[in-house]
Every structure is written in structure tokens, then in C-alpha cells.
């Protein structure tokens, strides 16, 4: 069962029981970001597709700033693998010199990137890819060093409360613009600069909950990988069965 189906069933039951607002998931295509010196996001411009490729269907492309581009694309022929990130150079004949390709997004309809690093280059950057269908499912975490290396998944989204004349609902959007990155010795921390966060799984037996964002953060260390912290306590996902 997909995460969107699990989300719809669990939230519908919970909200019906307490009389709360309905929940809608919606993804809006906007921009990607690069981190500034203080960990704040900086927009990268969306560019018109600048390559022609017989086998790729381009969703969106961004200018990195060093003459290279970051593209979200899938195969023209629909496949299970779905979307990928492509780092490339546009050649004069409108073809692409592919530098690196990420792992696929599988059944996700969106794989929008947010990049934290030095402006004007992807090298050494953290790349957060927002997965989703009609709303955010969370962020795949990658490190770029000439290739995209997977380092786990943030099972969280940003809840936006929407009040309309005849209804109220929660729209789940990408948490990435609210993330701030800092390096402490050899540990990278990912904190949240927003009021609340939607957690699909808090790794302590609770699913589909909204909690104060200042109680949640992540860390990455080469020895431990990506670790979720809630109220100062480390939550580590169980290892998959052998």
C-alpha cells in the first residue's frame, strides 16, 4: 500500500473521530534552493528545458550557476522507476552531457530537489529530494560528490492549515525550505525553522502525527548514518529483514 493511501485512511479516521479538519495533499512546483553561509535556503532559477532527449520526459530544470544544470526527468515510456535527478551540461547541439544520475523515485510523482552547499556548485552538497504524489511524502537525503549517494529518508512534511469558507484542511508540503543545516565537527545537523512538523512515523509507535518542530531534528555522521531525534532522544529505524 502506498504512503498516500496509508495517510488518507489513517488521517480520515482520526479526524472523523475528533471532528478536525479534512486533509488534502497538494504539491506545488516552485524552485530549488542552495544553502547560504548560515544554512538558509537561496533560490535557484527554473530554466526552460535546454536539451532534447528522445528517451527523457523533463519535468523541470534548474541552473546550478557553474554552467551545469539539475534536471528532474522520467522515461518517455512510463516505467516503475519513475523520476530521477540528472546533473548535466547542455551541449551546443541541444544534447546533454550527463554528469550524474540519482537513484529513481519509483512511484513518486515528484522528486523536487533542495540543495545545501556552496552556491554555484553541486560538489560536496547535500541534496534533499521531496517525494510525493498530491502532497509531500518526505525527503530522500543524498550527498553529491560527482555522484548522488543515498543517506536515508526524512519521513516528515510541513503541515499548512488552510481555512476556506466552507471547509478547513491540512495541506502537506515539502519540509525542505524550512530545514537548516549546520556542521558540528564531523556531524551534520538538520534542524527545522517552522512551528510544526507532520511525522508519518516517529519510530516510537506513532504514525501521522503533528508535533512542535523544535522537538525534532536529524543528524548525520558517517558511523551512524541519518538519525532522527525527538525530544533529545535518538530514534533509529529498525534494520530491514535479511
105 found inside a domain: yes
Range 195-221 average pLDDT: 96
Residue located via cell numbers 488518507? 8
Q: Which three cell numbers stand for residue 198?
A: 507532520
Q: Assign 220 to helix, strand or coil.
A: strand
13 found inside a domain: yes
63 found inside a domain: yes
Determine the Cα–Cα distance for residues 15 and 31; give it in Å rounded to an integer: 32
User: Residue 163 — very low, low, confident or very high, per pLDDT cuts 50/70/90?
Assistant: confident
Count of domains observed in the chain: 1
Determine the Cα–Cα distance for residues 61 and 48; give it in Å rounded to an integer: 7
pLDDT digits (tens, 9 = 90+) for 52-91: 777 788 889 999 999 999 999 988 777 777 899 999 998 8
Which uninterrupted H or E stretch holds 233?
strand 233-235
Point out the least confidently predicted range of 42-56, 72-86, 149-163, 175-189: 42-56
pLDDT of amino acid 190: 95
pLDDT of amino acid 117: 87
160 found inside a domain: yes
pLDDT cut 90: percent of the chain above it: 54
pLDDT of amino acid 25: 41
pLDDT of amino acid 203: 95
Range 107-124 average pLDDT: 89
Q: Is the pLDDT of residue 240 over 60?
A: no
237 found inside a domain: no
pTM summary value = 0.80
Structural domain boundaries, residue 15 = 3-177
Amino acid at each position: 500500500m502506498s504512503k498516500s493511501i496509508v495517510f488518507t485512511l489513517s488521517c480520515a479516521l482520526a479526524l472523523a473521530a475528533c471532528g478536525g479538519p479534512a486533509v488534502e495533499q497538494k504539491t506545488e512546483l516552485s524552485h530549488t534552493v542552495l544553502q547560504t553561509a548560515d544554512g538558509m535556503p537561496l533560490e535557484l532559477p527554473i530554466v526552460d528545458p535546454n536539451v532534447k532527449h528522445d528517451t527523457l520526459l523533463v519535468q523541470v530544470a534548474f541552473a546550478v550557476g557553474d554552467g551545469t544544470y539539475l534536471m528532474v526527468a522520467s522515461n518517455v515510456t512510463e516505467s516503475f522507476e519513475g523520476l530521477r535527478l540528472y546533473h548535466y551540461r547542455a551541449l551546443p547541439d541541444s544534447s546533454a552531457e550527463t554528469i550524474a544520475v540519482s537513484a529513481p523515485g519509483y512511484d513518486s510523482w515528484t522528486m523536487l530537489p533542495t540543495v545545501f552547499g556552496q552556491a554555484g556548485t553541486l560538489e560536496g552538497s547535500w541534496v534533499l529530494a521531496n517525494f510525493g504524489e498530491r502532497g509531500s511524502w518526505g525527503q530522500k537525503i543524498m550527498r553529491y560528490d560527482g555522484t548522488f549517494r543515498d543517506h536515508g529518508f526524512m519521513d516528515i512534511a510541513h503541515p499548512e492549515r488552510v481555512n476556506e469558507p466552507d471547509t478547513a484542511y491540512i495541506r502537506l508540503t515539502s519540509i525542505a525550505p524550512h530545514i537548516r543545516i549546520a556542521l558540528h565537527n564531523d556531524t551534520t545537523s538538520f534542524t527545522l525553522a517552522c512551528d510544526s512538523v507532520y511525522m508519518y512515523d516517529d519510530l516510537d509507535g506513532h504514525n501521522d502525527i503533528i508535533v512542535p518542530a523544535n522537538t525534532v531534528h536529524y543528524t548525520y555522521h558517517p558511523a551512524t548514518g541519518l538519525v532522527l531525534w525527538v525530544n533529545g532522544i535518538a530514534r533509529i529505524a529498525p534494520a530491514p529483514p535479511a
